[in-house]
Amino acid sequence: KYYLNKKYRMKVFTWHGGEKEVLMSPMDSLAYYKRLLHAGFMAMNPLNGQVKAWLGGTNFKYIKDDHVKQGKRQPASTFKPFVYVAAIDQEYSPCC
């Protein structure tokens, strides 16, 4: 499609200076944003449930995704600290 490869003047997010005006196609723009790291983070007080920190993504002004609330990801290693704490409480050795 011609319109996907036609170059347009647009502003993109950069790690060096916030935003930068560039000339790129919509396809180039998709490839550019796909290279950025996308992650979310939330820290909660386990005693009262108070949210202490919430980082939904790179920069919501430029990338309208909140990876804490909207992200559909496997938990990966997020459960390991809970397993390790339970094992330590039961006095398991790391070299069982």
Give the integer Cα–Cα distance in Å for 92 and 41. 30
Closest to 58 in 3D by CA, of 39, 35, 82, 79: 39
Number of domains into which the chain is organized? 2
Beta bridge partners of 57: none
Does residue 44 share a domain with residue 20?
no
Does residue 53 share a domain with residue 16?
no
Is the pLDDT assigned to residue 24 strictly greater than 70? yes
The model's pTM is 0.42
* Residue 70 pLDDT: 82
Whole-number average pLDDT of the chain: 82
Beta bridge partners of 19: 13
Q: The domain containing residue 76 runs over which residues?
A: 38-96
Contact between 57 and 39 under an 8 Å Cβ cutoff? The reply is yes
Contact between 36 and 59 under an 8 Å Cβ cutoff? The reply is no
* Residue 82 pLDDT: 82
Is the pLDDT assigned to residue 83 strictly greater than 70? yes
Does residue 29 share a domain with residue 44?
no
* Residue 17 pLDDT: 75
Q: Can you read off the two tokens belonging to residue 68?
A: 């804490």
* Residue 37 pLDDT: 67
Average pLDDT over residues 30-55: 86
Does residue 62 share a domain with residue 94?
yes
Does residue 25 share a domain with residue 57?
no
